[in-house]
Amino acid sequence: MIPIDRFLILSAILFGLGMYGVLARRSAVLILMSVELMLQAVSINFIAFAVYLSPVAFTGIIFAIFVITIAAAEVGLALAIILRLYRNKATANVDEADTMKW
């Protein structure tokens, strides 16, 4: 069995890459992808702790399924907002969307 620290290291690397993508990118689509990467890192943590701490209980796996479901809904809503931003401003750059006025 793979030790839990390998999963935690993988999750920390993925979360760090996602955090870097959120802070360094200007494109709304790339920021959204980085947020999804961070959410998947959290899901890896949930599943790793669920398997190693209590293999009988499925609470961590259920939480991971909720995270994936919420992430799918978040992607749908965020892509709709990004598409609307692109149609109005002709760019998906988050620096251009600094005001709430259309």
Determine the average pLDDT of the residues in 35-42: 94
Helix/strand/coil (H, E, C) string of 31-50?
A: HHHHHHHHHHHHHHHHHHHH
Asked, for residue 32, whether it belongs to a domain, the answer is yes
pLDDT at 61 (0 to 100): 87
Asked, for residue 102, whether it belongs to a domain, the answer is no
Q: What pLDDT band is residue 53 in, cutting at 50, 70 and 90?
A: confident
Contact between residue 38 and residue 16 where contact means Cβ atoms under 8 Å apart: no
pLDDT at 14 (0 to 100): 96
pLDDT at 102 (0 to 100): 56
Residues in the chain: 102
pLDDT at 99 (0 to 100): 66
Asked, for residue 96, whether it belongs to a domain, the answer is no
Contact between residue 7 and residue 40 where contact means Cβ atoms under 8 Å apart: no
Asked, for residue 95, whether it belongs to a domain, the answer is no
Give the structural domain span for 55: 4-89
User: How many folded domains does the chain comprise?
Assistant: 1
Asked, for residue 39, whether it belongs to a domain, the answer is yes
- pTM of the model as a whole: 0.84
Contact between residue 86 and residue 92 where contact means Cβ atoms under 8 Å apart: yes
